[in-house]
Structure 1
Amino acid sequence: MMKHNPQPWLKTLSLTAGLTFSSLAMSGGTLTVASPQDPGSWDPVDTFLVNWASVATNIYDGLTYRGPDLKLQPGLATGWEQLDDGRRIRFTLRQNVTFHNGEPFNANAVKFTIERLLGEEGKKGPQRSNYTAIERVDIVDEFTVDFFLNKPDPVLLTKLAGYGAMIVPPKYIAEKGEQYFNTHPVGTGPFQFVNYEPKVGIELKAYDNHWGSAPNISELNYRFISEPSTAVAELQAGRVDLVIPPTIPIAMIPTIEANPKLSVVTTPSPTVYALRFNSKSGITKDERVRKAMIYGVDRKAIIDSILGGQAEQIASFQSSISFGNDPAMKPLPYDPSKAMQLLKQAGVKPGTKVQIDIRGNNATFNEVAQAVASYLQIIGLNATIKPYETNVLLNDIIPAGKTGAMFQQSWGGWTLDYDNTAYFMYHTGEKWNPYDSDPELDQQLESQRTLLDPEQREAILQSIARYTANRALEMPLYSLNAIYGVSNRVNNFTPVPDSRLRFTDVTVD
């Protein structure tokens, strides 16, 4: 039996003169953040987008919480025990917590959240499969719940800290309906919803009755600015205080640093970039062609010339801080002669066209894609780039299998565990795997999810990384630092690797 004891500092503190920590912390001020993307829905079950989490981490709480130090801490659960060889987890819930609408948080809210996530509403979004190890949730009493698992899930406690498992209000959703909840979110987090204008922004305000550390700012506003030059211009003009990843192009870092009122803050991140292949049809159905295209692109030169030292080359679709990364793995080398040899063996004629689909709002990756296209021209392929609006590419093109030969995939890997990337990229039937079905790979992916022994899991995850690299399911490119542009009027800002920003400690001058 493993038992987690909460840190005493996470409890609501009582101070002298009858003041609580929450009421004392409020000091006012507005923080305005430029985010490159409107997720389109604020429902936790609807998205995997990092830019959703950059906002919603302030609106919602999970049972667990992972802070900037990447360590797991109590959230709406003050403690937990893993029982029955990992097939049951008992959570002790935090008392005297209310949702922003005044509705009480209790065991019923937890049960409702998980059943909704695993039910018909959850099936509509990409989150459900992340939590299918949960068989049912039983209420022990008002502030105790048992999670019964159909198999152990060694990453579940981390998953419960974000995205689909954020706790939602049962009564509010029942009264207002699912569509209303999408655009009028209610959680238990330190900021509550005020207004949302699609494609423009979302406004939040401090929630005075938050159970933990209340924010030092009174208002938190996000503006959705997809054009990087516009976001940087707004930062320079003082109309936004913070520009979050992945907005800022490497080429614009010197511009920001030249302004004495601004700073650039970076930190290593789990975010990885790749060009994935259509392995079902066209010339990239042939593994030899996929490997030829990888051999034909000098990824290190791209990193050095375009990314200015803010990235690291990867051999598999995960960063060096991912559990499951094998440091002994090396990327395929740049070898244009080998590339042309493989293309010839595969019967690919010089001048054959290949289309590369990318997100149109990422200026840095646009440069990377242009460089990739140029390298592919050298080995005899006529590469063209097709940009899409991000939501269109992610929601309409990739899941429906309508991409060209290659398509951009950027992945946060926010659990810092390769499972959270590999399962969704490679398992048959997953949203982000529209083309491939490999029973052997499916078996490996499923087998590691049943293991609690970290060494056994790590060995299988590393095997998966080698297997997928050998099949050349994508062209691994790089892991990119999280790059923030920050106004000097912002104090106590901590850049986080996973972009899941929580602004309780920030102050503004």
Structure 2
Amino acid sequence: MMKQKQWLKCFALAAGVTFSSMSMAAGTLTVSSPQDPGSWDPIDTFLVNWASVATNMYDGLTYRGPDLKLKPALATSWKISDDGKKIRFALRKGVTFHDGEPFNANAVKFTFDRLLGDEGKKGPQRSNYSAIDHVAVVDDYTVDFFLKAADPVLLTKLAGYGAMIVPPKYIQEKGEEYFNTHPVGTGPFEFESYQPKVGITLKAYPNFWGDKAKLSELKYRFISEPSTAVAELQSGRVDMVIPPTIPIAMIPTIKNDSKLKIMSATSPTVYALRFNTKNGITKDERVRKALIYGVDRQAIIDSILGGQAEAIASFQSAISFGNDPKMKSLPYDPTKAQQLLKAAGVKPGAQVQIDIRGNNATFNEVAQAVASYLQIIGLKAIIKPYETNVLLNDIVPAGKTGAMFQQSWGGWTLDYDNTAYFMYHSGEKWNPYDSDPKLDQMLEAQRSVTDQAKRLSMLQEIAHYTADRALEMPLYSENAIFGVAKRVKNFTPVPDSRLRLNDVTVE
């Protein structure tokens, strides 16, 4: 009996099709993701769990892979003007969207007109691209980006999230709501089906412009409960569990299973407990500093996180441009904490509510430890878990949190601007409480500086300033931890969880 590949080759030759042009995609990879983003439109989201799926469906003008190096994608090259205010992109020819619509300069202009216009106002992505004034079509495969001011991070931003190129005709004909649940891009996998809160299925796109998918199908199941996700991995019903699902305590269980392995990468993802600076006792900076002094964060890292995390002094990881390795956080000093609470007039037994994402078992342990430390300095900490989408979409942006609330942030550009602007600038979605004109000016000023040494100094100054104001309790940066079946081959764990799986195979 002929082997399958030989038979296919003979069939192809008989049909007059060259073998090299045929897709040999085979096999299904099933991935457990902890969250359904709720919309697959690039401008509707900031979520890492969106990117872990959608990076397979969409392309940007640029691409950043697991090696963190920026490469051409839908743009084959670019030229930046001397003043940094104009970028000319040469676009890739012969690319089609999954619906057959051609990719060209009009698609790029449509994407950014939409992102910077009324539709983009509804989502969280527009301010990331605020340096762009407008996009002009030069010809079918050349576009000019005209900037209000130079943006030294823009080329990286164009590799993800809101900058993913979308199909004009499809969206105009089908409408925005339909596009949310029936996405179309130019990536190696195309949309097949979506069941909200259950899963999404993609299939190999045979006309992809780059290295075609080796898998025939890619399934994501939305499993929020970590123990369930790990059980499904052990049973073989899923092949991979992606961050931030796997609790540290369950790593040995996976390592001890002969069919499974743990893979991890240094990650830009950071965790903090941010403060309500507008209402209640945490309106007082002395109280915020007391809470930081009152918690032994290093002990929490050592006892709960098992070597898979590092302490942070500002809300960024060690691989973030803007991190100051010499910066120190406030030390554990419960006596100092009690003195500050007394000076601020906070009475023993005062209540502090900590809002967290309920599906992160590891962070739940961290929050319990924080609550215990706060009890030692005389406070009563109440932990209030929320379903993740509720906390992120309804509670935090509306300013309805307690005194402290969990913030986990990927910082996927590896540049502190992408974190700091969203966290601290007045009016931003993730800054529902604080307004600081001086900080606003600092954040805006660094965005137009092209001298990297000067800009690094400015970003480090922002980190020190926010720490001095105690806008959050910095906790740790955590490795990106993947649980993977050994039948999965050619998978590289990525620091930012933006999974591109076209080279992956399954045995």
TM-score (norm 1): 0.96
1:505 is the counterpart of 2:503: yes
Indicate if the aligned counterparts of 2:25 and 2:204 stay in contact, CA closer than 8 A.
Answer: no
Equivalence for 1:461: 459
1:371 is the counterpart of 2:362: no
Aligned counterparts, 1:65-464, within 5 A: 65-464=63-462
Aligned counterparts, 1:11-30, within 5 A: 19=18, 23=21, 26-30=24-28
Equivalence for 1:489: 487
Give the counterpart letter for 2:412 in structure 1.
Answer: W
Equivalence for 2:34: 36
For residues 118 and 168 of structure 1, the distance between their equivalents in structure 2, rounded to whole angstroms, comes to: 14
Give the counterpart letter for 1:97 in structure 2.
Answer: V
User: Residue by residue, what CA displacement relative to the aligned partner does 1:173-211 show, whole Å, maximum 9, x if unpaired?
Assistant: 001000000000000000000000000000000000000
CA-based RMSD: 1.1
Return the match for 1:52 from 47, 50, 53.
Answer: 50
For residues 76 and 451 of structure 2, the distance between their equivalents in structure 1, rounded to whole angstroms, comes to: 25
Displacement of 1:84: 4.3
- Give the 3-state SS of the residue equivalent to 1:194 in structure 2: strand
For residues 20 and 348 of structure 1, the distance between their equivalents in structure 2, rounded to whole angstroms, comes to: 76
For residues 18 and 505 of structure 1, the distance between their equivalents in structure 2, rounded to whole angstroms, comes to: 24
- Give the 3-state SS of the residue equivalent to 2:52 in structure 1: helix
For residues 19 and 323 of structure 1, the distance between their equivalents in structure 2, rounded to whole angstroms, comes to: 48
For residues 239 and 258 of structure 2, the distance between their equivalents in structure 1, rounded to whole angstroms, comes to: 14
Residues 447 and 20 of structure 1, relative CA distance in 2, 3 Å threshold: farther
Indicate if the aligned counterparts of 1:399 and 1:431 stay in contact, CA closer than 8 A.
Answer: yes
Indicate if the aligned counterparts of 2:23 and 2:206 stay in contact, CA closer than 8 A.
Answer: no
Displacement of 1:27: 3.4
Give the counterpart letter for 2:223 in structure 1.
Answer: I
For residues 64 and 271 of structure 2, the distance between their equivalents in structure 1, rounded to whole angstroms, comes to: 23
- Give the 3-state SS of the residue equivalent to 2:83 in structure 1: helix
For residues 19 and 356 of structure 2, the distance between their equivalents in structure 1, rounded to whole angstroms, comes to: 49
Displacement of 1:266: 1.0
Indicate if the aligned counterparts of 2:426 and 2:435 stay in contact, CA closer than 8 A.
Answer: yes
Displacement of 1:331: 1.5
User: Residue by residue, what CA displacement relative to the aligned partner does 1:488-508 show, whole Å, maximum 9, x if unpaired?
Assistant: 100011000000000011000
Equivalence for 1:11: none
Give the counterpart letter for 1:418 in structure 2.
Answer: Y
For residues 181 and 358 of structure 2, the distance between their equivalents in structure 1, rounded to whole angstroms, comes to: 25
For residues 27 and 347 of structure 1, the distance between their equivalents in structure 2, rounded to whole angstroms, comes to: 67
- Give the 3-state SS of the residue equivalent to 2:290 in structure 1: helix
- Give the 3-state SS of the residue equivalent to 2:50 in structure 1: helix
Give the counterpart letter for 1:100 in structure 2.
Answer: H
Indicate if the aligned counterparts of 2:417 and 2:459 stay in contact, CA closer than 8 A.
Answer: yes
For residues 257 and 420 of structure 1, the distance between their equivalents in structure 2, rounded to whole angstroms, comes to: 35
For residues 183 and 20 of structure 1, the distance between their equivalents in structure 2, rounded to whole angstroms, comes to: 35
User: Residue by residue, what CA displacement relative to the aligned partner does 1:141-191 show, whole Å, maximum 9, x if unpaired?
Assistant: 000000000111110000000000000000000010000000000000000
Displacement of 1:20: 8.2
For residues 355 and 426 of structure 1, the distance between their equivalents in structure 2, rounded to whole angstroms, comes to: 21
Structure 1 unaligned spans of 5+: 1-15
Give the counterpart letter for 1:341 in structure 2.
Answer: Q
- Give the 3-state SS of the residue equivalent to 2:180 in structure 1: helix
Residues 508 and 331 of structure 1, relative CA distance in 2, 3 Å threshold: same
Displacement of 1:25: 5.8
For residues 423 and 20 of structure 1, the distance between their equivalents in structure 2, rounded to whole angstroms, comes to: 51
Displacement of 1:24: 5.3
Q: Percent of pairs identical after alignment?
A: 79
Displacement of 1:18: 8.0
Give the counterpart letter for 1:394 in structure 2.
Answer: L
User: Residue by residue, what CA displacement relative to the aligned partner does 1:292-319 show, whole Å, maximum 9, x if unpaired?
Assistant: 0000000000000000000000000000
Displacement of 1:434: 0.3
Displacement of 1:49: 0.3
Displacement of 1:267: 1.1
Give the counterpart letter for 1:326 in structure 2.
Answer: D
For residues 84 and 469 of structure 1, the distance between their equivalents in structure 2, rounded to whole angstroms, comes to: 36
User: Residue by residue, what CA displacement relative to the aligned partner does 1:110-136 show, whole Å, maximum 9, x if unpaired?
Assistant: 000000000111000000000011001
Residues 340 and 111 of structure 1, relative CA distance in 2, 3 Å threshold: same
For residues 74 and 135 of structure 2, the distance between their equivalents in structure 1, rounded to whole angstroms, comes to: 16
For residues 49 and 427 of structure 1, the distance between their equivalents in structure 2, rounded to whole angstroms, comes to: 19
For residues 360 and 172 of structure 1, the distance between their equivalents in structure 2, rounded to whole angstroms, comes to: 37
Give the counterpart letter for 1:388 in structure 2.
Answer: Y
- Give the 3-state SS of the residue equivalent to 1:392 in structure 2: helix
User: Residue by residue, what CA displacement relative to the aligned partner does 1:201-227 show, whole Å, maximum 9, x if unpaired?
Assistant: 000000000000001111000000000
Residues 286 and 184 of structure 1, relative CA distance in 2, 3 Å threshold: same
For residues 430 and 280 of structure 1, the distance between their equivalents in structure 2, rounded to whole angstroms, comes to: 15
- Give the 3-state SS of the residue equivalent to 2:351 in structure 1: strand
For residues 216 and 383 of structure 1, the distance between their equivalents in structure 2, rounded to whole angstroms, comes to: 51
User: Residue by residue, what CA displacement relative to the aligned partner does 1:380-408 show, whole Å, maximum 9, x if unpaired?
Assistant: 11000000000000000000000000000
Displacement of 1:26: 2.6
Indicate if the aligned counterparts of 2:156 and 2:413 stay in contact, CA closer than 8 A.
Answer: yes
For residues 390 and 204 of structure 2, the distance between their equivalents in structure 1, rounded to whole angstroms, comes to: 33
For residues 109 and 474 of structure 1, the distance between their equivalents in structure 2, rounded to whole angstroms, comes to: 41
Give the counterpart letter for 1:101 in structure 2.
Answer: D
TM-score (norm 2): 0.96
Give the counterpart letter for 1:327 in structure 2.
Answer: P
1:64 is the counterpart of 2:62: yes
